Amino acid sequence: MDAAGRILLNEGIGALNTNRIAKVAGVSVGSLYQYFPNKEAVLGALAEREGIELRSKFEGLLRLTEDMPVEQFVDQVIHAMFAMRERNALLIRVADAHSGDPGLLQQRVALAESLRDVVRRLIQRRSPETRPVDADVASFVIVHAIQGQLAALDQGLQPWFMEREELVAELVILVQRYLRPHPEP
Protein backbone atom coordinates (compact mmCIF):
# COMPACT_ATOMS: atom_id res chain seq x y z
CA MET A 1 0.00 0.00 0.00
CA ASP A 2 2.79 2.39 0.87
CA ALA A 3 4.55 1.46 -2.31
CA ALA A 4 1.42 1.99 -4.37
CA GLY A 5 0.95 5.38 -2.78
CA ARG A 6 4.53 6.34 -3.41
CA ILE A 7 4.37 5.35 -7.07
CA LEU A 8 1.09 7.14 -7.58
CA LEU A 9 2.47 10.32 -6.04
CA ASN A 10 5.90 10.28 -7.64
CA GLU A 11 5.49 8.59 -10.97
CA GLY A 12 1.82 8.89 -11.78
CA ILE A 13 -0.85 6.47 -12.80
CA GLY A 14 1.10 5.30 -15.82
CA ALA A 15 3.75 3.62 -13.70
CA LEU A 16 1.25 1.96 -11.39
CA ASN A 17 1.37 -1.74 -12.21
CA THR A 18 1.45 -4.70 -9.90
CA ASN A 19 5.02 -5.71 -10.69
CA ARG A 20 6.16 -2.15 -10.05
CA ILE A 21 4.25 -2.02 -6.78
CA ALA A 22 5.80 -5.28 -5.66
CA LYS A 23 9.30 -4.18 -6.63
CA VAL A 24 8.99 -0.83 -4.88
CA ALA A 25 7.58 -2.59 -1.85
CA GLY A 26 10.61 -4.86 -1.94
CA VAL A 27 8.62 -8.05 -2.34
CA SER A 28 7.63 -10.30 -5.22
CA VAL A 29 4.38 -10.12 -7.13
CA GLY A 30 3.37 -13.38 -5.56
CA SER A 31 3.59 -11.89 -2.10
CA LEU A 32 1.49 -8.96 -3.17
CA TYR A 33 -1.22 -11.36 -4.23
CA GLN A 34 -1.00 -13.18 -0.93
CA TYR A 35 -2.36 -10.11 0.79
CA PHE A 36 -4.56 -8.59 -1.89
CA PRO A 37 -6.86 -10.46 -4.27
CA ASN A 38 -6.13 -8.05 -7.12
CA LYS A 39 -4.76 -4.67 -8.08
CA GLU A 40 -7.93 -2.80 -7.30
CA ALA A 41 -7.96 -4.23 -3.81
CA VAL A 42 -4.55 -2.66 -3.19
CA LEU A 43 -5.84 0.71 -4.29
CA GLY A 44 -9.05 0.20 -2.37
CA ALA A 45 -7.18 -0.61 0.82
CA LEU A 46 -4.88 2.35 0.29
CA ALA A 47 -7.84 4.63 -0.29
CA GLU A 48 -9.57 3.29 2.79
CA ARG A 49 -6.53 3.72 5.01
CA GLU A 50 -5.87 7.23 3.82
CA GLY A 51 -9.54 8.07 4.00
CA ILE A 52 -9.78 6.88 7.57
CA GLU A 53 -6.71 8.89 8.48
CA LEU A 54 -8.17 11.97 6.85
CA ARG A 55 -11.51 11.49 8.50
CA SER A 56 -10.05 10.98 11.94
CA LYS A 57 -7.94 14.11 11.58
CA PHE A 58 -11.06 16.00 10.68
CA GLU A 59 -13.07 14.56 13.50
CA GLY A 60 -10.26 15.71 15.78
CA LEU A 61 -10.76 19.16 14.39
CA LEU A 62 -14.36 19.06 15.51
CA ARG A 63 -13.29 18.60 19.12
CA LEU A 64 -10.34 20.93 18.83
CA THR A 65 -12.37 23.87 17.55
CA GLU A 66 -15.31 23.36 19.86
CA ASP A 67 -15.05 26.68 21.63
CA MET A 68 -13.40 28.74 18.96
CA PRO A 69 -15.16 31.67 17.34
CA VAL A 70 -16.00 31.33 13.63
CA GLU A 71 -12.97 33.35 12.61
CA GLN A 72 -10.61 30.91 14.21
CA PHE A 73 -12.24 27.69 13.21
CA VAL A 74 -12.33 28.69 9.58
CA ASP A 75 -8.61 29.31 9.83
CA GLN A 76 -8.14 25.90 11.43
CA VAL A 77 -10.18 24.02 8.85
CA ILE A 78 -8.34 25.55 5.93
CA HIS A 79 -4.95 24.99 7.47
CA ALA A 80 -5.91 21.42 8.21
CA MET A 81 -6.99 20.77 4.65
CA PHE A 82 -3.77 22.24 3.33
CA ALA A 83 -1.79 20.19 5.81
CA MET A 84 -3.40 17.09 4.41
CA ARG A 85 -2.72 18.15 0.88
CA GLU A 86 -0.58 15.18 -0.04
CA ARG A 87 -2.85 12.58 1.49
CA ASN A 88 -5.78 14.20 -0.24
CA ALA A 89 -3.94 14.31 -3.56
CA LEU A 90 -3.22 10.65 -3.23
CA LEU A 91 -6.88 9.89 -2.78
CA ILE A 92 -7.82 11.90 -5.82
CA ARG A 93 -5.29 10.00 -7.89
CA VAL A 94 -6.46 6.65 -6.64
CA ALA A 95 -9.97 7.60 -7.67
CA ASP A 96 -8.69 8.72 -11.06
CA ALA A 97 -6.67 5.57 -11.52
CA HIS A 98 -9.78 3.43 -11.55
CA SER A 99 -12.56 5.88 -12.12
CA GLY A 100 -14.75 3.08 -13.39
CA ASP A 101 -14.58 0.98 -10.24
CA PRO A 102 -17.85 1.33 -8.33
CA GLY A 103 -16.33 0.39 -4.98
CA LEU A 104 -13.70 3.05 -5.26
CA LEU A 105 -16.27 5.62 -6.33
CA GLN A 106 -18.43 4.80 -3.36
CA GLN A 107 -15.46 5.19 -1.06
CA ARG A 108 -14.66 8.52 -2.58
CA VAL A 109 -18.23 9.73 -2.15
CA ALA A 110 -18.25 8.52 1.45
CA LEU A 111 -15.05 10.40 2.20
CA ALA A 112 -16.26 13.62 0.61
CA GLU A 113 -19.47 13.33 2.59
CA SER A 114 -17.61 12.74 5.80
CA LEU A 115 -15.36 15.76 5.32
CA ARG A 116 -18.35 17.88 4.49
CA ASP A 117 -20.13 16.51 7.54
CA VAL A 118 -17.46 17.85 9.85
CA VAL A 119 -17.70 21.29 8.33
CA ARG A 120 -21.48 21.09 8.42
CA ARG A 121 -21.45 20.34 12.13
CA LEU A 122 -18.96 23.12 12.77
CA ILE A 123 -21.29 25.55 11.03
CA GLN A 124 -24.44 24.31 12.77
CA ARG A 125 -22.80 24.61 16.13
CA ARG A 126 -22.13 28.27 15.50
CA SER A 127 -25.35 29.20 13.79
CA PRO A 128 -25.85 32.31 15.95
CA GLU A 129 -22.50 33.68 14.85
CA THR A 130 -23.09 33.21 11.14
CA ARG A 131 -25.62 34.48 8.66
CA PRO A 132 -28.54 32.09 8.26
CA VAL A 133 -27.39 29.39 5.86
CA ASP A 134 -28.38 25.88 4.97
CA ALA A 135 -25.48 24.08 6.64
CA ASP A 136 -25.57 21.32 4.03
CA VAL A 137 -25.22 23.72 1.17
CA ALA A 138 -22.66 25.92 2.85
CA SER A 139 -20.46 23.03 3.87
CA PHE A 140 -20.57 21.66 0.33
CA VAL A 141 -19.55 24.98 -1.13
CA ILE A 142 -16.78 25.55 1.38
CA VAL A 143 -15.25 22.09 1.20
CA HIS A 144 -15.19 22.02 -2.56
CA ALA A 145 -13.96 25.60 -2.86
CA ILE A 146 -10.96 24.58 -0.81
CA GLN A 147 -10.60 21.26 -2.65
CA GLY A 148 -10.57 23.28 -5.86
CA GLN A 149 -7.45 25.13 -4.72
CA LEU A 150 -5.77 21.91 -3.65
CA ALA A 151 -6.61 20.25 -6.95
CA ALA A 152 -5.16 23.20 -8.84
CA LEU A 153 -1.90 23.02 -6.92
CA ASP A 154 -1.84 19.28 -7.30
CA GLN A 155 -2.25 19.43 -11.04
CA GLY A 156 0.89 21.42 -11.44
CA LEU A 157 -0.43 24.96 -11.30
CA GLN A 158 2.23 26.77 -9.39
CA PRO A 159 1.21 30.41 -9.12
CA TRP A 160 4.30 32.62 -9.24
CA PHE A 161 2.45 35.56 -7.79
CA MET A 162 1.83 34.20 -4.37
CA GLU A 163 3.19 32.01 -1.65
CA ARG A 164 1.28 29.14 -0.21
CA GLU A 165 0.54 31.19 2.88
CA GLU A 166 -0.98 34.02 0.87
CA LEU A 167 -3.36 31.59 -0.76
CA VAL A 168 -4.33 30.15 2.59
CA ALA A 169 -4.89 33.61 4.01
CA GLU A 170 -7.04 34.55 1.05
CA LEU A 171 -9.10 31.42 1.41
CA VAL A 172 -9.67 32.26 5.04
CA ILE A 173 -11.06 35.59 3.91
CA LEU A 174 -13.21 33.90 1.27
CA VAL A 175 -14.81 31.56 3.76
CA GLN A 176 -15.11 34.01 6.62
CA ARG A 177 -16.87 36.55 4.46
CA TYR A 178 -19.11 33.80 3.15
CA LEU A 179 -20.28 32.95 6.66
CA ARG A 180 -20.28 36.40 8.26
CA PRO A 181 -23.74 37.63 9.33
CA HIS A 182 -23.86 41.19 8.01
CA PRO A 183 -21.53 41.85 5.13
CA GLU A 184 -23.17 45.19 4.48
CA PRO A 185 -21.63 48.22 6.15
Q: Which residues bind DNA (CB under 7 A)?
A: 14, 16-19, 27-31, 33-35, 37-40
- Candidates 25-33, 43-51, 65-73, 149-157: pick the segment binding a copy of itself (CB under 8 A): 149-157
Residues in Cβ contact with 75 at an 8 Å cutoff, skipping those fewer than 6 apart? 172
- Minimum Å gap between C-beta 110 and a copy of itself is 10
Q: Pick from DNA, a copy of itself, none: which does 38 bind, CB < 5 to 8 A by kind?
A: DNA
Give me the phi and psi of 176, to 5 degrees please.
-60, -45
Q: Pick from a copy of itself, DNA, none: which does 31 bind, CB < 5 to 8 A by kind?
A: DNA
- Rule CB under 8 A: say whether 93 interacts with a copy of itself: yes
Q: Pick from a copy of itself, DNA, none: which does 167 bind, CB < 5 to 8 A by kind?
A: a copy of itself
The stretches of the chain forming alpha helices (DSSP H) are 2-10, 18-25, 29-35, 39-64, 70-83, 85-97, 102-125, 135-154, 164-179
Q: Pick from a copy of itself, DNA, none: which does 34 bind, CB < 5 to 8 A by kind?
A: DNA
- Candidates 11-19, 23-31, 44-52, 80-88: pick the segment binding a copy of itself (CB under 8 A): 11-19
Burial of 180 (C-beta count, 10 Å sphere; 0-12/13-18/19+): middle
- Rule CB under 8 A: say whether 174 interacts with a copy of itself: yes
Closest by CA to 122, choosing from 140, 135, 109, is 135
**What is the Rg, in whole angstroms, of the alpha carbon atoms belonging to the chain?**
19
Closest by CA to 12, choosing from 84, 98, 97, 86, is 97
Contacts with a copy of itself by CB under 8 A lie at: 11-15, 93, 95-96, 98-100, 105, 108-109, 112-113, 134, 136-138, 140-141, 144-149, 151-152, 155-157, 159, 161-162, 166-167, 170-171, 173-174, 177-178, 180-185
